[in-house]
Amino acid sequence: MNILCVAAHPDDIEILCAGTLIRYAEEGHQVTMAIFTAGNMGDVHISPEELEKIRKKETLASAAIIGAKVIWAGIDDELVFPSLEQRHIMIDILREADPDVIFTHSPNDYHPDHRYVGQLVFDAYFQKGLPNIPNQVKPACRFGQSQLYYMDNLGGIDFLPAEYVDISDVIEKKLMMLACHKSQLSSMEELANTDLIGMVDVQSRFRGLAAGCRYAEGFVRSDSFQRGLTKRILP
Amino acid sequence: MNILCVAAHPDDIEILCAGTLIRYAEEGHQVTMAIFTAGNMGDVHISPEELEKIRKKETLASAAIIGAKVIWAGIDDELVFPSLEQRHIMIDILREADPDVIFTHSPNDYHPDHRYVGQLVFDAYFQKGLPNIPNQVKPACRFGQSQLYYMDNLGGIDFLPAEYVDISDVIEKKLMMLACHKSQLSSMEELANTDLIGMVDVQSRFRGLAAGCRYAEGFVRSDSFQRGLTKRILP
Amino acid sequence: MNILCVAAHPDDIEILCAGTLIRYAEEGHQVTMAIFTAGNMGDVHISPEELEKIRKKETLASAAIIGAKVIWAGIDDELVFPSLEQRHIMIDILREADPDVIFTHSPNDYHPDHRYVGQLVFDAYFQKGLPNIPNQVKPACRFGQSQLYYMDNLGGIDFLPAEYVDISDVIEKKLMMLACHKSQLSSMEELANTDLIGMVDVQSRFRGLAAGCRYAEGFVRSDSFQRGLTKRILP
Amino acid sequence: MNILCVAAHPDDIEILCAGTLIRYAEEGHQVTMAIFTAGNMGDVHISPEELEKIRKKETLASAAIIGAKVIWAGIDDELVFPSLEQRHIMIDILREADPDVIFTHSPNDYHPDHRYVGQLVFDAYFQKGLPNIPNQVKPACRFGQSQLYYMDNLGGIDFLPAEYVDISDVIEKKLMMLACHKSQLSSMEELANTDLIGMVDVQSRFRGLAAGCRYAEGFVRSDSFQRGLTKRILP
Amino acid sequence: MNILCVAAHPDDIEILCAGTLIRYAEEGHQVTMAIFTAGNMGDVHISPEELEKIRKKETLASAAIIGAKVIWAGIDDELVFPSLEQRHIMIDILREADPDVIFTHSPNDYHPDHRYVGQLVFDAYFQKGLPNIPNQVKPACRFGQSQLYYMDNLGGIDFLPAEYVDISDVIEKKLMMLACHKSQLSSMEELANTDLIGMVDVQSRFRGLAAGCRYAEGFVRSDSFQRGLTKRILP
Amino acid sequence: MNILCVAAHPDDIEILCAGTLIRYAEEGHQVTMAIFTAGNMGDVHISPEELEKIRKKETLASAAIIGAKVIWAGIDDELVFPSLEQRHIMIDILREADPDVIFTHSPNDYHPDHRYVGQLVFDAYFQKGLPNIPNQVKPACRFGQSQLYYMDNLGGIDFLPAEYVDISDVIEKKLMMLACHKSQLSSMEELANTDLIGMVDVQSRFRGLAAGCRYAEGFVRSDSFQRGLTKRILP
């Protein structure tokens, strides 16, 4: 299958979904990590241009660990909008990945970029398969036939997972991927006084407590008319 | 009374609301069917221009069955946005119909065009009656004084009706209206493997099971400050 | 129609539902006020036996204002339970009233007696019409065919009305009925520092603000399979 | 695996869950159908004693179609309570079936017997595996390790399925099982003006519309601490 | 502390939040009242340009009562959008106020301008503290570290307060502030048949009933990752 | 103030609420830990009588660490019911503690004993202050005037905290209290394969992530008419 995760910032996937992607990759599925913004505003000392270069390199290093393809949309960090322009970009991302499963941010996430990326994915869902949408770069891929999952958020505020993936066997690899985002580890420390590695360890163990395994990631499926709801397509 | 239904695509009204509109029409009320998009992307073989012509003709045929007026906004299918431009168009639709009751799509519908049409109707509600909104074509109509109802969606996913309309006596006419959308019957068959007539029959019977009649349509009222909530204005 | 309101304590109906009952009574419907407990614990100075006598008299005076029938179940105040014994009593109350519309407390009311009365009414709904339930005093009445409404609660905590009744024309009569509960006016003042008349005035005006009239009462319908959901049966 | 469905009345399983049980049975799992009440109040002409005999025979005929074991608890219809006595009975039912998956009624079902059966199953969950619970007939079975699913209700009122089972290939067998309940087909016709077979056909097709198959049954999982939430255990 | 309230129209703050602001002001905190639109569409007789002048003057008079600073963004009334342009304006408002506490409209308010102002505040939250956001007029203020509260709405429709502020001692001052909006008192009377002063009195008393004081305002906190949720920062 | 926590089993308080109780105790408030059941079923090897003795001793040791008073109701584990008998016991517990703040289990906890203890506390709330309730051992305490908080559950399933208490400075003491429950540490290991100390560490850190401190406990307040909702009474 083709697995796609679309996140707003370069480390979101590692924090919220990497364990699941690792499991898909290890089962031989094609994984695509799409990063919608350049993550270029998250530092008070480094210029946006410089920061984008750093973060893209970090993302490629992380993706290389599981052989995932990277789509780098390069939208300015903090400036995601559900606009026509960004819709076109999102449709092309979906078309390039032609996904069987899509992961993205939840509509009630704490960060506006996350919310709008989630909204753009939802909005682009049908258009990925319709050939006549004007001004698209990529040709239409398959119509429908993907399942859409919303990811957890930091601290789990207003998020109750409905499905869990056991990531106990791949937690080290998940933390290795996260560790590629060196610029962010220090920036989060400075700006938000947060130890990213420790935070992800705690959140994965907490979701594991609920699910009945050592480490887990939690998701909520976005159900919709005739989207093949009779099977579990998660690993 | 003036009854207005604003839908995103040319067959949405027939699927979700036509039974109720038929009952209003038979009671002598003035019914307006507003179609926000041209429905011109739903086919992989027919060009958008050609498709718009076909679907407009089908819509006029359906509306003629109950003597409803049609407003055809002609926005490109799949490209509805809650933008300033489309807001202006929606305000003029509401002003033209000067409605006592408005039906539209629910904010958690499965299709982004549906969601945004519903959002535009909600957003245009107050402006229909304010004379100083700039760049409108139509003069202001009555301020407030309409009730707003959200329609069911396909398969009823995340939708729990709060009010029902008994359409047992008009189900044949509803299916006749739907049958006018010939282009869609075949397209839905091909694209989504869906038999539209059968689907509508099942959904109407299911809502009827809940309501205690043979066939029904279900709705949720969007309540708001001083909108005349002490009466049932549904047929 | 036969209208039944089942409340836990002798003044609950006046506070939460009397305006609606007055309107039914004025339209010629038969109104029954069923009081499940004797309301005999609400005073620190008067003995339970004495208090029951006082409160029953007050209730009869209030009911007389609209010609309503009173059913006085006399369960000990604060000791309502969804038990077999109290279920039998509730079934007989419903059978005696043979209601087309039932009002009772909401399942998330702040008072346990209220909650359990609401639960008992819900639980007794089907049994009112089944002739073979053992140990009942009254014969079965009509099966099904009633609508069940939950009443507002004090301060509206966790209660969002879905339907409103305009009681502007009968607010004086509602307050007259409430004023019959003299023992309670002073007791609420002493125990809970609450001015009952003022409280009911404010709550009715607040619900009127929402509904678009001067005074209103708010309700939530308890929907269920085939309970005749296509009509508004409220005044 | 051991599959257990606990329902309140003799035809509830056929209406809401039989398709799923058939699929389990065809895959070689051991299926147990537990009927908590004797279903002996649902007729106005036949005595409760006589009716119990008829309905037990009908249930055994239905279960025989898939080789399911039947547990007949024989509680008086309409008199289910979450009491100590009925808790003991429910614990023994669970112990006898030693289930990997349990299906039962949802806590917000329309019928009090359904609600209380669901509550009793929830309440008995831990006790099935604790050897020291006094006054039990059966020895403790495995501790924990089962998943609990709530079934749909008639008309789907207040019920939004979260998981679906495709029953397209077994719908005829489901209707055959339902057809065994001859006494109920006529009684529902008379008491509630309901065609059971037609109703089940419509509801299964409606759930299938949502799920993307011809016929489906819908469920909601009752999640709980460490209940093995990382796998789909439904067919 | 720095207290900021961002509302859509010139009288919204007085109606929904002024009591709380008065209490903050009396405790010596710096209060900023930000009015996003010019409130210039709310009258059918006065031109938008004229109306803006009147309403700004009224707002300044009201703010003067508590020594609050006013930020007047001057967006056209009824034309609030979560667009890039208005996002820039909102970020600068937040930066100018550098708030410890922010009050704004709730995402499910009845008025689209209210909803979009609330959404813009939510969306601008992180950007207020990030120095590299392009095209901003004001320099970045502190990162994070504010709590965000959503205000009540008229009639309390779909709004359940989670926290209350006792405004019994400042209700007269709240009504004095509201009375500054003379143009609105008459316009609401004409357009919506609403007595603003009476309405606010009723709503404050109703919220007081729930909270256990004479007059109160109700709020819901918008929780988010690491926003200092272990303290009450309300007066 | 008088602080009361009522839990179902001897280690529930330590897992879910001890940090908050420690903080109250250190501020000089009087803390009462009420354990409703004897916790005597949780072991497959030790007899219920023996187990009760062990667990009571462990509870007293834990309470001694903060000088808390213990109320040991001794109901048989797994047999909590919202019955009249257990209601009487709960009323006397509340009267003995005369609480300003009450903590108990949430109504949607995963364990039936937890749910029913929470329900009994809710149900006994008003009766603690009414002197005429028959068959009580203790005299009535103050009427009303307490706030009621629901505790988190294991894994946080279906629980979204609305308020948090920072327990970073007392986490070691919380784990010391938990460590007193030696019998449970080994039993949970064997029965449910759960490391209690590690679990509590993870859950406290996870709630701290959300709240913005190192360790936290999360709660939901049960609001009710006039229960003094304008203050935070948590430490």
pLDDT digits (tens, 9 = 90+) for C35-65: 999 999 978 789 999 999 999 999 999 999 9
Residue D194 has pLDDT above 80, yes or no: no
- Nearest CB to F230: which of E164, E223, E225? E164
Measured between beta carbons, the chain C residues lying within 8 angstroms of E206 are: 155-156, 202-203, 206
- Mean pLDDT for the stretch of residues D58-66: 98
Q: Give the sign of the dihedral formed by CA D123, CA D124, CA D130, CA D136.
A: positive
Residue F227 pLDDT class (50, 70, 90 cuts) = confident
Residue in chain C nearest B233 by alpha carbon = C232
Task: Name the stretches of chain A with pLDDT < 50.
Answer: none
What residues in chain D have their Cβ under 8 A from chain F's Cβ atoms? 82-84, 122-123, 125-127, 130-134, 143-144, 223-226
Q: Please, which residues have CB within 8 angstroms of residue E177's CB and are 6 or more apart in sequence?
A: E14, E18, E22, E62, E65, E66
Q: Of all residues in chain A, what percent are helix, strand and coil, respectively (each to 5)?
A: 45, 15, 40
Cβ distance of C143 and D42 shorter than 8 Å: no
A211: distance to nearest CA of chain F, Å?
A: 8
- Nearest CB to D203: which of B154, B209, B211? B209
E219: distance to nearest CA of chain B, Å?
A: 18
C172 CB neighbour count, 10 Å cutoff: 10
What residues in chain A have their Cβ under 8 A from chain D's Cβ atoms? 162-166, 209-213, 216, 223, 225-232
- Nearest CB to E81: which of B84, B122, B223? B84
Residue C233 has pLDDT above 90, yes or no: no
Measured between beta carbons, the chain A residues lying within 8 angstroms of D231 are: 232
Cβ distance of C206 and E210 shorter than 8 Å: no
Angle at CA of residue E78, ends E76 and E80, nearest 5°? 75
* Alpha carbon distance B111, B8 (integer Å): 9
Residue C163 has pLDDT above 90, yes or no: yes
C196: distance to nearest CA of chain E, Å?
A: 11
Cβ distance of D157 and C226 shorter than 8 Å: no
Cβ distance of D155 and C226 shorter than 8 Å: yes
Cβ distance of E157 and B83 shorter than 8 Å: no
Chains that touch D (3 or more CB pairs under 8 A): A, B, C, F
> Mean pLDDT across chain C, nearest whole number?
94
C64: distance to nearest CA of chain F, Å?
A: 30
A146: distance to nearest CA of chain D, Å?
A: 12
Residue in chain E nearest A83 by alpha carbon = E83
Residue in chain E nearest F227 by alpha carbon = E212
Confidence at residue C98, expressed as pLDDT on a 0 to 100 scale:
98
- Nearest CB to B162: which of C162, C165, C226? C162
DSSP state of E85: H
E207: distance to nearest CA of chain A, Å?
A: 25
> Mean pLDDT across chain E, nearest whole number?
94
Residue E228 has pLDDT above 80, yes or no: no
Residue E83 pLDDT class (50, 70, 90 cuts) = very high
- Mean pLDDT for the stretch of residues B123-145: 93
Nearest to C178 by CA among C53, C24, C66, C36: C66
What residues in chain D have their Cβ under 8 A from chain A's Cβ atoms? 162-166, 209-213, 216, 223, 225-232
Measured between beta carbons, the chain C residues lying within 8 angstroms of F121 are: none
E149: distance to nearest CA of chain F, Å?
A: 13
A207: distance to nearest CA of chain F, Å?
A: 7
pLDDT (tens digit per residue) in B91-123:
999 999 999 999 999 998 999 999 999 999 999
Q: Give the sign of the dihedral formed by CA B68, CA B21, CA D198, CA D22.
A: positive
Cβ distance of F230 and E209 shorter than 8 Å: no
A157: distance to nearest CA of chain E, Å?
A: 6
For the sheet with A2-7, list strands across it.
Answer: A69-75, A30-37, A2-7, A101-104, A147-151, A216-221, A163-166
- Give the residue from C229, C232, C234 with the most B CB atoms within 10 Å of its CB, the best one to mutate: C229
- Give the residue from F147, F165, F166, F229 with the most E CB atoms within 10 Å of its CB, the best one to mutate: F229
Cβ distance of B155 and D209 shorter than 8 Å: yes
Residue D149 pLDDT class (50, 70, 90 cuts) = very high
Which value, to the nearest 10 degrees, does the dihedral of the CA atoms of residues C120, C123, C129, C132 take?
-100
Confidence at residue E161, expressed as pLDDT on a 0 to 100 scale:
95
Confidence at residue D231, expressed as pLDDT on a 0 to 100 scale:
85
F212: distance to nearest CA of chain E, Å?
A: 4
Residue D3 has pLDDT above 90, yes or no: yes
* Alpha carbon distance A1, D74 (integer Å): 50
Cβ distance of A212 and D223 shorter than 8 Å: no
Residues facing C103 on adjacent strands? C5, C149
Chains that touch A (3 or more CB pairs under 8 A): B, D, E, F
Chains that touch C (3 or more CB pairs under 8 A): B, D, E, F
Q: Exposed, middle or buried by CB within 10 Å (0-12, 13-18, 19+), for D233? A: middle
- Mean pLDDT for the stretch of residues B176-194: 85
Cβ distance of D227 and A216 shorter than 8 Å: no
pLDDT over 90 percentage in chain C: 84
Residue E149 has pLDDT above 80, yes or no: yes
Question: How many CB pairs (< 8 A) connect C and D?
Answer: 45
Confidence at residue F43, expressed as pLDDT on a 0 to 100 scale:
81
Measured between beta carbons, the chain C residues lying within 8 angstroms of E156 are: 156, 206, 210
Residue in chain C nearest B221 by alpha carbon = C162
> Mean pLDDT across chain D, nearest whole number?
94
DSSP state of C204: H
Residue B42 has pLDDT above 90, yes or no: no
Cβ distance of C230 and B166 shorter than 8 Å: yes
Buried b (16+ CB within 10 A) or exposed e, C86-120: bbbbbbbbbbbbbbbbbbbbbeebbbbbbbbbbbb
Residue in chain E nearest F168 by alpha carbon = E230
Measured between beta carbons, the chain D residues lying within 8 angstroms of A226 are: 209-212
Measured between beta carbons, the chain B residues lying within 8 angstroms of A143 are: 191-192
pLDDT (tens digit per residue) in B206-217:
999 999 999 999
Whole-complex ipTM: 0.94
Cβ distance of D44 and C131 shorter than 8 Å: yes
Confidence at residue B186, expressed as pLDDT on a 0 to 100 scale:
83
- Mean pLDDT for the stretch of residues D151-166: 94
Residue in chain C nearest D79 by alpha carbon = C84
- Residue at F43: amino acid letter: D
Residue E44 has pLDDT above 90, yes or no: no
Residue F94 has pLDDT above 90, yes or no: yes
- Nearest CB to E84: which of A81, A111, A192? A81
- Nearest CB to B230: which of C213, C223, C228? C213
The answer to which of D85-94, D188-197, E165-174, F13-22 has the lowest mean pLDDT is D188-197
Residue B185 pLDDT class (50, 70, 90 cuts) = confident
Question: Is the pair A, C in contact (3+ CB pairs within 8 Å)?
Answer: no
pLDDT over 90 percentage in chain E: 84
Measured between beta carbons, the chain F residues lying within 8 angstroms of E213 are: 230
Confidence at residue F48, expressed as pLDDT on a 0 to 100 scale:
94
DSSP state of C41: S
3-state secondary structure at position B101: strand
Measured between beta carbons, the chain D residues lying within 8 angstroms of B157 are: 160, 210
- Mean pLDDT for the stretch of residues F69-97: 97
* Alpha carbon distance E62, F123 (integer Å): 47
DSSP state of F170: G
Residue C186 pLDDT class (50, 70, 90 cuts) = confident
* Alpha carbon distance F60, F181 (integer Å): 10
Cβ distance of D225 and F157 shorter than 8 Å: yes
- Mean pLDDT for the stretch of residues B22-46: 94
